[in-house]
Amino acid sequence: MSPHIILRVVSKLLIPMIVIFGFYVQFHGDFGPGGGFQAGVIIAVAVILYALIFGIDEAKKAVPPKLVQWGSAAGVLLYAAVGLATLVMPFAGEAVNFLDYDALHPDQSHHAGQHYGILLVELGVLITVTSVMLAIFYAFAGRVPDIPDEEW
Amino acid sequence: MLETILERFNYIPIIILMMTGLYVVIATGNLIKRLVGLSLFQTSVFLLYITIGKVFGGQPPILESAHHGEDDGYGSAGGYGAEAATGYAGAGEAEHAEEAAHNGYEAAASHGEGYGDSAHHAAEVLYSNPLPHVLILTAIVVGVATLAVGLALVVRIREAYGTIEDDALNAADYSRETGSSE
Amino acid sequence: MSGADLTQFLDYTLIAMLLAVGFAIVRLRNLFAVVMLTGVYSLLSAAWFVSLDAVDVAFTEAAVGAGISTVLMLGAMLLTAREAEAPGRGRHLAAMLVVTVAGMALFFAIPDMPVYGAADSPANSYVGASYLERTPNEIEIPNVVTAVLASYRGYDTFGEVVVIFTAALGVILLLGFNTGGARRREDEE
């Protein structure tokens, strides 16, 4: 029987909600406070909470360090890819600037291109921030000697 | 002179907090506490920027209506009320129908007024300056990333020297260079 | 009017608490207490950010300052030391001198700063106001902060993302991921 049964049960209930809240913050960022930076940190906190309660090895099984390494690069690349896509997609017959999202969608009356562009770059920010925070946490936590149970 | 200062009272605590952080950075030898002082200083700079962007009576810079759709809002509100009224009437409850229609009309009217008000309001509503918010928002995340690099360096220094007090670090470096053990 | 007065008292309370926490951080030598107080300081400044209309910033500060950086500092503290040594007398005096001079210089600069809460100060007049005017027509999303962050200043934000990516790279290079269990046992000896 684990000594931290209440912590384990409560955090098992809380962690999915934290992740869902993170995604809400991400995708509601156009309409209320929020965005990729905040959502990325919140989702990273969910994994960090998991690691604090169940141990760093369990967390590394759930979110492998390899994934974190790839993720921190993938977010930056997604952001850059959106910028490059706007460069190659001509808008109204002429080429537009790096990260000028109007080129992404022809519907100008509702600025759909801007909405798609913001969604995509915020997704890139989310992936990078989550992965970077987790990478930093793994790097520090990988060195911590396990805390003995008496110190709780 | 006093009035000039009182109009700008927000800067006084921020300067004191900045100097608190600076004092910790200079006076403390412990590297972790130094980084804490640095983040105190950093947070005070964030506060400085955000207080400059504050507008009295302003709102957070989240627009009340995304685009000029106030007229649409008015129209659809009226439509809702009318629909509700006919719906009630169509339900065949004769005694309630008139009342319901009246309620629906009133609702539509008050709703419409509300929209009209907000449209009128939106034209002159004050928002705080969004620009410092954007700058500081990214600065906070970059701040924690650089703090992590600093902490990683401190951890490596601890592993190499066995201490993180900078007097002891200086002594260790000195004895290594001169070959004397102090 | 009474509402405005109430929020002002809230501001004064938060400022007083920030100052108290700041001085406590200077005085304390137990690093655990110092790190936890830093989290408290972040949370208090997040509360003040809300009262200053910067909801996005408050959100970030509460999540990052009070959450992640406290965890990181605790992790680093566990690996290094639990107590800080008290500063020596000479160092204390030197620091006081620097802080007093710099603080006085900043105080003298206060009359040149924009009036607190003024809508027509130079800082609030040009660029910020123009973003507020242009966002409904050009981007059509309600949150101006997101619009400026991701669209108008998307290039800046790209730079920030690259910076935090580089920071992660630096931390991994300095500390490593320690995928095996070998190094941990090495450290414990």
The Cα A73–Cα A4 span in angstroms is 36
Torsion of CA C17, C21, C23, C24, to 10 degrees: 140
Q: Which of B10, B53, B137 sits opposite C128 (nearest CB)?
A: B53
What is the largest distance, in Å, between two alpha-carbon atoms of chain A? 70
Radius of gyration of chain B (CA): 31
On chain C, the residues whose CB falls within 8 A of the CB of B131 are 127-128, 131, 148
CATH architecture of C1-85: Up-down Bundle (1.20)
Tell me whether residues B21 and C140 touch, CB distance under 8 A.
no
Tell me whether residues A35 and C179 touch, CB distance under 8 A.
no
Are C59 and C51 contacting, i.e. CB atoms less than 8 angstroms apart? no
- Mutation target vs B (from C52, C89, C178; most B CBs, 10 A cutoff): C52
Is residue C101 over pLDDT 90? yes
Higher pLDDT, B65 or A117: A117
> Touching check for B124 and chain C: CB below 8 Å?
no
The Cα C6–Cα C1 span in angstroms is 9
Q: Which of A31, A129, A136 sits opposite B148 (nearest CB)?
A: A136
How many CA atoms does the CB half-sphere of A100 hold within 13 Å? 13
Least confident stretch, A132-136, B142-146, C173-177: C173-177
Are B133 and C52 contacting, i.e. CB atoms less than 8 angstroms apart? no
Q: In this structure, what token pair is assigned to residue C22?
A: 């700041």
> Touching check for B122 and chain C: CB below 8 Å?
no
- For C:148-177, CB contacts with B below 8 A are 148-149, 153, 156-157, 160, 163-164, 167-168, 170-171, 174-175
User: In this complex, which chains have at least 3 CB pairs below 8 Å with chain B?
Assistant: A, C
Are C174 and A136 contacting, i.e. CB atoms less than 8 angstroms apart? no
How far off is chain B from A32, nearest CA to CA, in Å?
A: 7
pLDDT at position B65 is: 67
Using DSSP, state whether C141 is helix, strand or coil: coil
Q: Which of A35, A65, A131 sits opposite C179 (nearest CB)?
A: A65
Tell me whether residues C55 and A114 touch, CB distance under 8 A.
no
Write the single-letter amino acid at A95.
A
Q: In this structure, what token pair is assigned to residue B36?
A: 């804490």
What is the third-level CATH fold of B1-62+127-182? Helix Hairpins (1.10.287)
Is residue C178 over pLDDT 70? no
Using DSSP, state whether B127 is helix, strand or coil: strand
A135-to-A51, A95, C98, C171 alpha-carbon distances in Å: 13, 38, 38, 8
| pLDDT bucket at A2, cuts 50 / 70 / 90 | low
pLDDT cut 90: percent of chain A above it: 49
pLDDT at position B159 is: 85
Tell me whether residues C161 and A110 touch, CB distance under 8 A.
no
Residue range B5-39, pLDDT digits in tens? 888 888 999 999 999 999 999 999 899 999 999 99
Are B59 and B126 contacting, i.e. CB atoms less than 8 angstroms apart? yes
Model ipTM over 0.90: no
Tell me whether residues A129 and B151 touch, CB distance under 8 A.
no
Residue range B1-10, pLDDT digits in tens? 788 888 888 8
B165-to-B108, B171, C87, C159 alpha-carbon distances in Å: 72, 10, 10, 35
Tell me whether residues A143 and C184 touch, CB distance under 8 A.
yes
Higher pLDDT, B43 or B98: B43
pLDDT cut 70: percent of chain B above it: 65
Tell me whether residues C87 and B29 touch, CB distance under 8 A.
yes
Residue range A27-55, pLDDT digits in tens? 988 888 888 899 999 999 999 999 988 88
Q: Which of C55, C162, C177 sits opposite A76 (nearest CB)?
A: C162
- Mutation target vs C (from A104, A128, A136; most C CBs, 10 A cutoff): A136
- Searching chain B, which residue's CA lies closest to the CA of residue C141? B66
Higher pLDDT, C131 or B69: C131
How far off is chain A from B148, nearest CA to CA, in Å?
A: 7
| pLDDT bucket at B61, cuts 50 / 70 / 90 | confident
The Cα A17–Cα A26 span in angstroms is 14
Residue range B100-136, pLDDT digits in tens? 444 444 444 444 444 444 444 445 688 889 999 999 9
Residue range C150-168, pLDDT digits in tens? 888 889 999 999 999 999 9
pLDDT at position C6 is: 74
Domain assignments of chain C as residue spans, ordered by start: 1-85
Domain assignments of chain B as residue spans, ordered by start: 1-62+127-182, 65-124
Inter-chain Cβ pairs, chain B and chain C, closer than 8 A: 287
Q: In this structure, what token pair is assigned to residue A141?
A: 């936590």
Q: In this structure, what token pair is assigned to residue A127?
A: 């992936």
CA-based nearest residue to C74, from C53, C66, C118: C66
Inter-chain Cβ pairs, chain A and chain C, closer than 8 A: 161
**Phi and psi at residue B126, in whole multiples of 5°?**
-95, 140
B110-to-A4, B103, B125, C57 alpha-carbon distances in Å: 56, 10, 21, 36
The residue to which tokens 């710099």 are assigned: C102
